[in-house]
Chain A
Amino acid sequence: DAKTTQPTSMDCAEGRAANLPCNHSTISGNEYVYWYRQIHSQGPQYIIHGLKNNETNEMASLIITEDRKSSTLILPHATLRDTAVYYCIVPIFNQFYFGTGTSLTVIP
């Protein structure tokens, strides 16, 4: 069973920031938070991961709350190509439970 909960779906206007929330209230001190996305008919794509500090790479930023019970993935300037299902994952004993994720639709 997944250790995370995410909204089922979200919309975002093209060019605006997309903020995708994730709750992981039972996370342990040494467990990472991972984000992946899956564009229709493709394999999942790694986006970013973090432990307790905020992280940024060329794709996105990850903001983790101080108590580590939740995090937010930020796509700073969403494009139509960012329309996908976004998965927030806390691995359990090397197993990644992808759950159903958040279906993000970027609207022109």
Chain B
Amino acid sequence: GAGVSQSPSNKVTEKGKDVELRCDPISGHTALYWYRQSLGQGLEFLIYFQGNSAPDKSGLPSDRFSAERTGGSVSTLTIQRTQQEDSAVYLCASSLVRGGALILAYEQYFGPGTRLTVT
């Protein structure tokens, strides 16, 4: 079946402009994650959506970053007033959440990422 898709694959923007990055998760996956990966670095968790629960925004680096998930499916990550340090690959992942009340298992499936370059 179709995997996680992200658009655009590449985005070049000028410092100070706003950008929107889109993620289409695997159909039926209730959990959705956003990460970013700077050059040569590990993945940095940004935000997590699970079903209709309030998102876990604890990883967002500043109030310039926000994300929405409409209808429990597609998600948009918005970066306002972009800065050069925002340049990175932004990765989206989705997963099922299963198991009992106390034991949850997550296998995340990642999209190809959006490479953002702020000039």
Name the residue on B nearest A85 (C-beta): B42
B103 touches A51 (CB 8 A): yes
Give residues in A with beta carbon < 8 Å to B. Answer: 30, 32, 34, 36, 42-46, 49, 51, 87, 91, 93-101
A-contacting residues, B80-114, CB 8 Å? 91, 93, 102-113
Chain A residues, CB < 8 A from B4: 43
Give residues in B with beta carbon < 8 Å to A. Answer: 4, 31, 33, 35, 41-43, 45, 48, 50, 56, 58-59, 91, 93, 102-113
Residue with the greatest number of chain B CB neighbours at <10 A, chosen from A43, A45, A95, A100: A43
Which one of A30, A34, A95, A101 contacts B48 once the chains associate, using CB atoms below 8 Å?
A: A95
B43 touches A98 (CB 8 A): yes
Offer 25 A-B interface pairs, CB within 8 angstroms, sorted by A.
A30-B103, A32-B103, A43-B4, A43-B91, A43-B93, A43-B111, A43-B113, A44-B43, A44-B93, A44-B108, A46-B108, A49-B107, A91-B106, A94-B56, A94-B104, A94-B106, A95-B58, A96-B33, A96-B43, A96-B108, A98-B35, A98-B43, A98-B45, A99-B42, A101-B42
Q: B99 CB to closest chain A CB, in angstroms?
A: 9
User: How far, in angstroms, from A94 to B106 measured CA to CA in the complex?
Assistant: 9
B48 touches A46 (CB 8 A): no
Interface of A is mostly: loop
Chain A residues, CB < 8 A from B113: 43
Task: Report, nearest first, the 10 A-B pairs whose CB atoms are least far apart.
Answer: A43-B110, A98-B43, A100-B42, A46-B107, A98-B42, A30-B103, A44-B110, A95-B45, A43-B91, A99-B42
B102 touches A30 (CB 8 A): yes
User: How far, in angstroms, from A97 to B45 measured CA to CA in the complex?
Assistant: 7
Name the residue on A nearest B41 (C-beta): A100
